[in-house]
């Protein structure tokens, strides 16, 4: 027996060593030689395999295990390091006069000067540090003084040179912009959308999120690019001017941001601006302006910098992005609370690198204000990250083909007559329980990031499950796994659902079942109960039982005195819980969920308690909930830190361990007393 044990231990150790060897080998290829022999997927499998064995046999985990290492899936935060010289911002100009002032100031100082105009790429700046011609460090701009260490990530960015050509000085710093080309941004978003993941609002956000990943393999998949725009070096190698440096760099096959122009006077500068402004859609990347820089390094040094920006450069920003397109139709969307929103369907147009084919119109009043008709040519604006907005109709384009936008009288989803409630601007469908669109959007809200945050369950998947009658209400989400296991639903027959994706879904449902009380209230999607109100309710009532008692006892006056809870909210809650169906649903949901109560008081505040075994009168979950309300922390492992253990019938090793550690032991009588209090 002993021998057998020894043998298996040896086998496991060998297996661990082999896996570590393999992983280190592939890491080395990857990080030090920028190449790979196996796919990312195969690599992930190796790591998973190692992690699983290590989890099963923690005592055999080696100190040299790559599971400890940064550069892989480490949970450590990024290091923050100081820049050798601060990374400054740029002075901004929006108007031609401001650009003229910049030019005139230079003209007064220098008899002879040139200005290099470049595009201002909308990404995030990074600094690459080279020693002995090798890339040794990369930092983000951060606050300008200190930045985050992105060395492991930057090597997977196209355009970053890891080893400088022999002729280059041994030490230097290259500063430039990391960005995501528009095409890659669109591809990334469409994959994320398909997977039900949150999409990025701009290429800039996507780039910033991608370069700062702790796992550089994710960065690699995101396909970023880098353009250098300045070199910090004393060497004469790079010439006397920016434009010379550019020539040298491109001779050595560096990728530079093009187009650029060496300008002799203000009209050259404005021409370049106009040209870029007109052609920005054709650029491979998003820009937010033009940068003008004094070309000569000597002249740059004479001007110097302020604490925030160099005095020898100016960013000429583009105005809010606008486009002209056509309103093809208006669709009416029913929201989760039955409100009806007109959505403008537009002829697809690109604004600042983003394809736009929809805009919201908010409500009927807005349509009236704009005097908008279907078939109209309109001016669309997108400022920064916000959803595009129709600014105005261009009446000169009106022909005879415009038609009125007619607001429906009945719900486009369930055909029930729409009703304008007192004091409200919008009409709504009040068929709360039987309107499919309302139910779908309520489900979407329930699983959304701010609510239960169930990954992999987005609008697309919800629509699918709803259509197939697999998920009709919140509860169905939690019974899905069992129904699937008992062959009551089959998922494999549908396109896009394989063993793996199904298991992933179950895992994320499981993960999301732990939810704070305020998020739980918010997730129900009751009208007027946003995140803030949910927060107020959760701290006022502490736990679900207290909260529900208000409605079962018809005791809503307790709500009236709570700050931040007005009559509209009270009415809405009363209306919701007056339906017994809703009341029961909420109750039942609490059995599937592990609601976390933030208790600031309670008889067992911060007491660590273990519950084990079977009880005659109560389920374990019930006891747990009761204790949590009293501020207790329920845990499943018996350790010295545990305050007491409650044991039912057939409690095995945990009881044993508790006895050994001399921990106080309670039994069902304790629970009965607890219930009586
Ligand atoms: P801002 O963030 O608006 O203050 O603008 C300064 C930032 O513009 C720099 O930190 C860079 O990240 C970015 N930038 C983009 N393209 C260029 C360029 N060609 N030259 C200098 N800075 C640029
Ligand atoms: Zn309806």
**pLDDT tens-digit series, residues 527-537:** 889 888 898 89
Nearest atom (ligand 1) to Cα of 119: 19
pLDDT tens digits, 389-415: 898 899 888 888 899 999 999 999 999
Ligand at minimal distance from the CA of 87 is: 1
CATH of domain 516-596: 1.10.150.20
Positions of CATH 1.10.150.20 in the chain:
436-512, 516-596
Which amino acid residue places its CA nearest to atom 14 of ligand 1?
120
Nearest atom (ligand 1) to Cα of 257: 19
Question: What are the beta bridge partners of residue 596?
Answer: 516
Nearest atom (ligand 1) to Cα of 88: 10
321-397 CATH pick, 3.40.1370.10, 1.20.144.10, 2.40.50.140, 1.10.220.10: 2.40.50.140
125 Cβ closer than 6 Å to some ligand 1 atom = yes
pLDDT tens digits, 187-223: 998 888 788 777 776 788 889 889 988 888 889 999 9
CA quadruple 54, 48, 26, 71: dihedral positive or negative?
negative
The whole-chain average pLDDT of the chain stands at: 87
645 Cβ closer than 6 Å to some ligand 1 atom = no
668 Cβ closer than 6 Å to some ligand 1 atom = no
Per-residue CA distances from 146 to 214, 229, 674 (Å): 18, 20, 55
Q: Which range, of 200-214, 460-474, 631-645, averages the lowest pLDDT?
A: 200-214
CATH of domain 80-317: 3.30.470.30
Per-residue CA distances from 490 to 479, 484, 547 (Å): 14, 6, 38
Nearest atom (ligand 1) to Cα of 118: 19
Q: Which residues surround ligand 2, an ion (CB under 5 A)?
A: 411, 413-414, 429, 431, 435
Tell me how far the alpha carbon of residue 459 lies from the centroid of ligand 2, in angstroms: 18
547 Cβ closer than 6 Å to some ligand 1 atom = no
Report the share of the chain in percent with pLDDT over 90: 46
The Cα 498–Cα 504 span in angstroms is: 10
437 Cβ closer than 6 Å to some ligand 1 atom = no
Two structure tokens written together for 201: 């609002």
Q: Which range, of 206-215, 351-360, 482-491, 608-617, averages the lowest pLDDT?
A: 351-360
The Cα 617–Cα 612 span in angstroms is: 14
Q: Going by CATH, does the domain composed of 436-512 fall within 1.10.150.20? A: yes
Tell me how far the alpha carbon of residue 340 lies from the centroid of ligand 2, in angstroms: 9
Radius of gyration of the chain (CA): 32
Question: What are the beta bridge partners of residue 612?
Answer: 647
Instruction: Give, for ligand 1, the residue of 86, 88, 89, 90 to mutate: max count of ligand atoms closer than 8 Å to Cβ.
Output: 90
Q: With bands split at pLDDT 50, 70 and 90, how would you rate the model's confidence at 269?
A: very high
Give φ, ψ of 618 to 5 degrees.
Answer: -135, 150
Q: With bands split at pLDDT 50, 70 and 90, how would you rate the model's confidence at 113?
A: very high
- The runs of H, that is alpha helices, within 195-312 are 203-211, 216-221, 242-251, 266-279, 297-303
120 noted as active-site residue: yes
Two structure tokens written together for 653: 């090793």
CATH of domain 608-676: 3.40.50.10190
Question: What are the beta bridge partners of residue 464?
Answer: none
229 Cβ closer than 6 Å to some ligand 1 atom = yes
The mean pLDDT value for 474-500 works out to 91
Positions of CATH 1.10.287.610 in the chain:
2-68
Those residues whose C-beta lies under 8 Å from the C-beta of residue 627, and which sit 6 or more positions away, are 604, 609, 611, 634, 674
Catalytic pick among 114, 120, 519, 626: 120
Q: Going by CATH, does the domain composed of 2-68 fall within 1.10.287.610? A: yes
Residue 608, pLDDT above cutoff 70: yes
């Amino acid at each position: 027996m002993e021998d057998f044990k020894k043998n298996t231990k040896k086998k496991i150790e060998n297996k661990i060593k082999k896996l570590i060897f393999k992983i280190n080998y592939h890491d080395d290829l990857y990080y030090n030689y920028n190449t790979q022999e196996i796919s990312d997927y195969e690599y992930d499998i190796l790591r998973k395999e190692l992690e699983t064995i290590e989890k099963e046999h923690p005592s055999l985990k080696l100190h040299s295990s790559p599971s400890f290492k940064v550069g892989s899936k480490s949970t450590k935060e990024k290091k923050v390091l100081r820049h050798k010289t601060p990374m400054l911002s740029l002075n901004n100009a929006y108007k031609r006069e401001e650009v003229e002032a910049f030019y005139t100031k230079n003209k007064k100082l220098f008899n002879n000067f040139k200005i290099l105009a470049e595009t201002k790429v909308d990404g995030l700046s990074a600094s690459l540090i080279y020693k002995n011609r090798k890339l040794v460090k990369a930092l983000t701009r951060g606050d300008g003084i200190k930045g985050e260490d992105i060395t492991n990530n930057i090597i997977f960015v196209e355009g970053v040179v890891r080893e400088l050509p022999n002729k280059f000085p041994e030490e230097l710093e290259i500063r430039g912009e990391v960005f995501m080309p528009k095409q890659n941004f669109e591809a990334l978003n469409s994959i994320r959308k398909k997977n039900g993941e949150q999409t990025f609002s701009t290429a800039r956000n996507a780039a910033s999120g991608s370069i700062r990943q702790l796992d550089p393999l994710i960065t690699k998949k995101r396909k970023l690019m880098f353009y250098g725009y300045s070199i910090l070096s004393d060497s004469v190698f790079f010439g006397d001017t920016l434009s010379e440096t550019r020539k040298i760099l491109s001779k050595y096959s560096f990728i530079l941001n093009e187009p650029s122009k060496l300008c002799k006077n203000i009209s050259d500068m404005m021409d370049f601006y106009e040209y870029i402004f007109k052609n920005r859609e054709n650029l491979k990347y998003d820009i937010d302006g033009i940068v003008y820089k004094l070309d000569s390094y000597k002249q740059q040094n004479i001007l110097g910098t302020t604490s925030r920006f160099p005095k020898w450069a100016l960013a000429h920003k583009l105005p809010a992005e606008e486009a002209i397109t056509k309103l093809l139709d208006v669709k009416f969307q029913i929201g989760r609370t039955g409100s009806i929103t007109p959505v403008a369907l537009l002829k697809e147009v690109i604004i600042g690198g983003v394809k736009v084919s929809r805009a919201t119109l908010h409500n009927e009043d807005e349509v009236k204000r704009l005097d908008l008709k279907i078939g109209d040519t309109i001016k669309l604006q997108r400022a920064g990250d916000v959803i595009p907005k129709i600014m105005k109709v261009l009446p000169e384009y009106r022909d005879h083909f415009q038609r009125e936008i007619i607001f429906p009288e009945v719900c486009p989803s369930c055909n029930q007559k729409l009703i304008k409630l007192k004091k409200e601007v919008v009409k709504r469908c009040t068929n709360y329980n039987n309107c499919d669109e309302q139910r779908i959007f309520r489900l979407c809200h329930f699983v959304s990031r701010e609510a239960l945050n169930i990954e992999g369950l987005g609008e697309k998947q919800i629509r699918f499950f709803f259509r197939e009658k697999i998920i009709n209400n919140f509860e169905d989400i939690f019974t899905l796994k069992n129904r699937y296991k008992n062959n009551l639903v089959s998922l494999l027959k549908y396109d896009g659902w394989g063993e793996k994706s199904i298991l992933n879904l179950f895992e994320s449902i499981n993960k999301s079942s732990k939810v704070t009380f305020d998020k739980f209230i918010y997730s129900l999607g009751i009208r007027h109960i946003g995140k803030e109100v949910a927060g107020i309710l959760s701290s006022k009532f502490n736990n679900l039982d207290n909260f529900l008692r208000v409605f079962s006892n018809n005791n809503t006056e307790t709500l009236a005195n709570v700050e931040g809870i007005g009559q509209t909210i009270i009415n809405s809650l009363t209306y919701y819980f007056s339906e017994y169906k809703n009341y029961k649903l909420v109750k039942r949901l609490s059995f599937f969920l592990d609601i976390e109560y933030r208790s600031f008081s309670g008889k067992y505040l911060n007491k660590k308690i273990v519950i084990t075994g079977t009880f005659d009168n109560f389920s374990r979950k019930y006891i747990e909930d009761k204790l949590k309300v009293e501020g207790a922390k329920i845990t499943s492992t018996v350790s010295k830190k545990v305050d007491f253990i409650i044991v039912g019938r057939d409690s095995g090793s945990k009881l044993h361990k508790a006895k050994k550690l001399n921990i106080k032991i309670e039994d069902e009588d304790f629970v009965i007393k607890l219930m009586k209090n």
